[in-house]
């Protein structure tokens, strides 16, 4: 066990101080005020927000530099150490649940004797498999690890309550309910935990389906309370949490999403056997043509086998439970409810991978007994250790990829070449290098623009590169295209206004700045609008705008300097130049 913990820790060591990934930065920043914007990975998941806020507070207490990427090199270490700890604890719970399941009285005696080796092998492969790396290295996806931990804690407490004494049973029931509530505060997959407890009892303990309605020992009340806890938590936490990114109201049809999930789950299963095409972003485009057919066939066959197994519970109840658990774990994210922002994600099979590994372990034992009984236990142990070592090395290599945003997004763009978001992030990584690769970034953003008709990906970023190269006039058309496509895109519109001001086209910039101010009247927006008015000779409007800034932050040195030079700026070119420099400084973070 010590060797397994050390191997897992070493496998994730290369990514500990890696930069944040995708929406890590914005979600973690929002957690400082114990909030999570609708649609963010922590929205409707208060336990995730709380752990992020605690990590952030600890960083500040320790004096860890919290500058934006690529600075603040140690700021992510605490976050990823927490993710790794939860991963290890979840692995420990998985070991406990599997060992007790294999020791149930309905399992043949010769298999019960293998409870520790089977549980240990599955736990080791589960911990070390590179397919799990996204949950640890992509910080805000700790929601999957926390939910999986709570899911297993619910099952484990249920097992202990069944096998415990009358005096301890109530405590284990309470722990199961508490774990269920905390799991629902982490991610939606836990909503099937009450059904998993009931199916586990039927598969391993209760003789008939009718007995599930009257299980005895207060077990029926446990079922009821678990369902109430899950459904009530879901109703409270999910109201508007996912924003417009998930649900039947999105532009993505349920049947196209379902077909895409058939492809995605088959793809995850392939990665279980050969994890050579891992990616952090599968994009938002559904699958068409024949690509989903193998997944449809595999999942249909597995589903039918699971249903048949439920008709032969005394012999195949274990398989029936595993098959049902697999589908229940994947159903919230990988069935008919479209998640328009992301059609696939390797983290979704995080806990469900255990089902695949259990079936593989059982198949391996069965094959050895039937066809290769002469193979020594020592040889098998050596083979297993070698396989675990290979997986640990593969996970280490994958973790090292997170340390380089450029390498991470090159891999994502290669794995999903029709994903404009991956290209967008690759271009951004090239642009934000300490020695920027402007030409390649420009080319990547141009590719993203050709793949995204909405101009959400590529346009603004392409203009940013052009502006950084001093090609301001060339930056205007893509920004105008982005604003025309989405009138509510405040960052794009203020970037457009900034470029126009740098070109001296204040009259063209002012309408865009006015629109930005009507949506978000922040201090920097008002100051820049006031300077634009003054630069265009509209002195009265500039003064009126400055009066609004005084109400927001009249005591700051910048505002005092702004007020003292405002009158002179109408007649003194030097004063006007000073105000324009102030506006440039306040708008530096816009683009």
Q: Which residues contact 349 (CB under 8 A, 6 or more apart)?
A: 131, 265, 268, 272, 330, 356
Cα(516)–Cα(132) distance, rounded to whole angstroms? 42
| Residues 412 and 319 placed together within one structural domain of the fold | no
Q: Which residues touch 69 (CB under 8 Å, ≥6 apart)?
A: 19, 20, 25, 405, 432
Q: What share of the chain is helix, strand, coil (3-state, %, to 5)?
A: 70, 0, 30
Assess whether 246 and 367 both reside in one domain. yes
Beta bridge partners of 13: none
**What is the total count of domains within the chain?**
3
In-domain check, residue 353: yes
Distances (CA, A) of 458 to 25, 160, 433, 461, 569: 20, 54, 18, 5, 38
* pLDDT tens digits, 485-528: 887 788 888 889 888 988 889 899 889 988 988 888 887 788 88
Q: What is the pLDDT of residues 349-358, one digit of tens each?
A: 999 999 999 9
Residues near 20 by beta carbon (within 8 Å), at least 6 away in sequence: 28, 69, 76, 139
pLDDT-above-70 percentage for the chain? 90
* Strands (DSSP E) found in 202-315: none
Within-domain flag for 167:
no
pLDDT tens per residue across span 104-153: 999 999 999 999 999 999 999 999 999 999 999 999 999 999 999 999 99
Q: Domain check: are 258 and 304 in the same one?
A: yes
| Mean of all residue pLDDT scores within the chain | 87
In a domain, 101, yes or no: no
- Of 127, 139, 137, 157, give the one whose Cα is nearest residue 23: 139
**Do 290 and 310 touch, CB atoms closer than 8 A?**
no
β-partners of residue 339 are 246
Of 299-313, 314-328, 547-561, which gets the smallest average pLDDT? 547-561
Q: Examine the domain organization and report whether 361 and 299 are in the same domain.
A: yes
More confident residue, 169 or 37: 169
Q: Is 447 left (phi over 0), alpha (psi -120 to 50) or beta?
A: alpha
Q: Tell me if 539 is assigned to some domain.
A: yes
pLDDT for the residue 558:
57
Give the mean pLDDT of 301-319. 95
Q: Which two tokens stand for residue 487?
A: 């009138």
Q: For residues 172 and 157, is the Cβ–Cβ distance under 8 A?
A: yes
Encoded tokens for 591: 């683009």
CB 114 within 8 A of CB 261: no
Which one is predicted more confidently, 384 or 86?
A: 86
The DSSP result for 58-117, as a single string, is: HHHHTT---PPTTS-TTTTHHHHHHHHHHHHHHHHHHHHHHHHHHTSTTS-HHHHTTHHH
**Structure confidence at residue 483 as a pLDDT band (50, 70, 90):** confident
- Residues 291 and 249 both lie in one domain: yes
C-alpha dist (Å) from residue 528 to 488, 522, 541: 19, 10, 12
Find out whether the peptide bond into 454 is cis, omega within 30 degrees of 0: no
Give 289-300 as a 3 state SS string.
Answer: CCCCHHHHHHHH
Asked if residue 145 belongs to a domain, the reply is: no
Phi, psi of 304 (to 5 degrees): -65, -40
DSSP state of 285: P
Q: Which two tokens stand for residue 225?
A: 């309370």
CB 184 within 8 A of CB 47: no
Q: Is residue 412 part of a domain?
A: yes
Q: Which two tokens stand for residue 498?
A: 């900034």
Task: Judge if 541 and 466 occupy the same domain.
Answer: no
434 in Cβ contact with 465 (< 8 Å): no
φ, ψ of residue 446 in degrees (nearest 5): -65, -40
73, 93, 76: which is closest to 146 by C-alpha? 93
Considering the domain architecture, whether residues 546 and 473 belong to the same structural domain is answered as: no
Would you state the pLDDT for residue 588?
64
Q: Which of 530, 576, 580, 585 is nearest to 552 (CA)?
A: 530
Task: Report the interhelical angle of 472-485 vs 490-502 (nearest 10°).
Answer: 150
pLDDT for residue 302 is more than 60: yes
Q: Does 63 score more than 90 pLDDT?
A: no
Beta bridge partners of 246: 339
Phi-psi sector, 242: left (phi>0), alpha (psi -120 to 50), beta: alpha
Identify whether 271 is part of a domain: yes
What does the pLDDT average to over 580-588?
66
d(CA 232, CA 112): 38
Token pair 């270490």 is found at 77
Q: Confidence band (pLDDT; 50, 70, 90) for 243?
A: low
Task: Tell me the two tokens of residue 346.
Answer: 């390797």
d(CA 81, CA 83) in angstroms, rounded, equals 5
In this model, does residue 540 exceed pLDDT 70? yes
Query: Any idea of the CA torsion for 544, 546, 552, 556, to the nearest 10 degrees?
Result: -160
Q: Is the dihedral of CA 279, 283, 286, 290 positive or negative?
A: negative
Do 534 and 443 lie in one domain? The reply is no
Show Cβ contacts of residue 211 under 8 Å, excluding neighbours closer than 6 positions: 202
Q: Any idea which residue has 């589908």 for tokens?
A: 327
The CATH code of the domain that includes 473 is 1.25.40.10
* In-domain check, residue 367: yes
Angle between helices 142-163 and 193-204 (to 10 degrees): 40
- Domain match, 417 and 451 both: yes
For residue 577, what are the domain limits? 511-591
Six token digits for residue 46: 């208060």
* Domain match, 366 and 412 both: no
Q: Indicate if 518 and 474 belong to the same structural domain.
A: no
Same domain, 249 and 338: yes
* pLDDT tens profile 444-472: 998 988 888 777 888 888 888 888 888 88
């Amino acid at each position: 066990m010590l060797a397994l913990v050390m191997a897992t820790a070493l496998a994730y060591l290369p990514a500990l101080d890696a930069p944040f990934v995708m929406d890590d930065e914005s979600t973690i920043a929002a957690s400082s005020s114990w909030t999570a914007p609708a649609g963010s990975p922590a929205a409707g998941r208060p336990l995730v927000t709380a752990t992020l806020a605690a990590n952030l507070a600890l960083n500040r207490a320790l004096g860890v530099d919290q500058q934006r990427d690529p600075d603040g090199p140690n700021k992510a270490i605490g976050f990823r150490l927490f993710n790794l700890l939860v991963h290890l604890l979840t692995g420990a719970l998985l070991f406990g649940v599997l060992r007790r399941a294999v020791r149930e009285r309905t399992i043949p005696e010769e298999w019960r004797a293998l409870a520790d080796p089977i549980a240990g092998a599955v736990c080791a492969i589960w911990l070390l498999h590179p397919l799990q790396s996204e949950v640890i290295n992509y910080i805000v996806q700790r929601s999957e690890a926390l939910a999986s931990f709570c899911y297993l804690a619910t099952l484990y407490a249920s097992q202990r309550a069944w096998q415990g004494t009358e005096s301890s049973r109530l405590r284990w029931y309470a722990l199961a309910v508490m774990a269920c509530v905390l799991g629902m505060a982490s991610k939606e997959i836990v909503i099937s935990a009450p059904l998993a407890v009931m199916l586990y009892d039927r598969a391993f303990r209760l003789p008939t389906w009718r007995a599930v309605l009257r299980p005895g020992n207060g077990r029926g009340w446990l079922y009821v309370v678990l369902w109430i806890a899950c459904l009530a938590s879901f109703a409270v936490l999910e109201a508007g949490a996912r924003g417009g990114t998930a649900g039947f109201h999105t532009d993505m049809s349920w049947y196209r999403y379902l077909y895409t999930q058939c492809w995605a789950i088959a793809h995850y299963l392939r990665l279980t056997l050969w994890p050579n095409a891992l990616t952090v972003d599968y994009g938002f485009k559904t699958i068409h043509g024949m690509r989903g057919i193998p997944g449809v066939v595999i999942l249909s066959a597995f589903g039918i086998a699971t249903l048949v197994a439920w008709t032969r519970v005394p012999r195949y109840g274990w398989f029936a439970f595993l098959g049902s658990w697999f589908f229940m774990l994947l159903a919230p994210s990988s069935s008919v409810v479209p998640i328009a922002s992301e059609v696939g994600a390797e983290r979704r099979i995080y806990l469900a991978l255990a089902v695949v590994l259990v079936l593989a372990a059982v198949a391996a034992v069965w094959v050895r007994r039937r066809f290769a009984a002469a193979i020594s236990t020592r040889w098998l142990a050596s083979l297993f250790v070698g396989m675990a070592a290979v997986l640990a090395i593969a996970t280490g290599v994958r973790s090292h990829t997170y340390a380089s945003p450029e390498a991470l997004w090159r891999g994502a763009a290669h794995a999903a070449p029709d994903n404009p978001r991956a290209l967008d992030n690759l271009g951004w990584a090239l642009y934000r290098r300490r020695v920027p690769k402007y030409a390649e970034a420009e080319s990547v953003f141009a590719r993203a623009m050709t793949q995204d008709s909405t101009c959400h990906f590529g346009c603004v970023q392409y203009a940013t590169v052009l502006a950084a190269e001093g090609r301001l006039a060339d930056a205007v058309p893509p920004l105008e295209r982005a604003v025309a496509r989405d009138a509510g895109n405040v960052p794009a519109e203020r970037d457009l206004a900034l470029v126009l001001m740098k070109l001296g086209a204040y009259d063209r910039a002012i309408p865009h700045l006015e629109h930005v101010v009507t949506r978000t009247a922040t201090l920097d927006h008002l100051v820049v609008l006031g300077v634009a008015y003054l630069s265009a000779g509209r002195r009265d409007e500039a003064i009126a705008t400055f009066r609004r800034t005084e109400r927001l932050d009249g005591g700051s040195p910048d505002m005092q300097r702004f007020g003292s030079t405002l009158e002179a700026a109408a007649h003194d070119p030097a004063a006007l130049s000073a105000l324009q420099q102030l506006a440039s400084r306040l708008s530096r973070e816009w683009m």
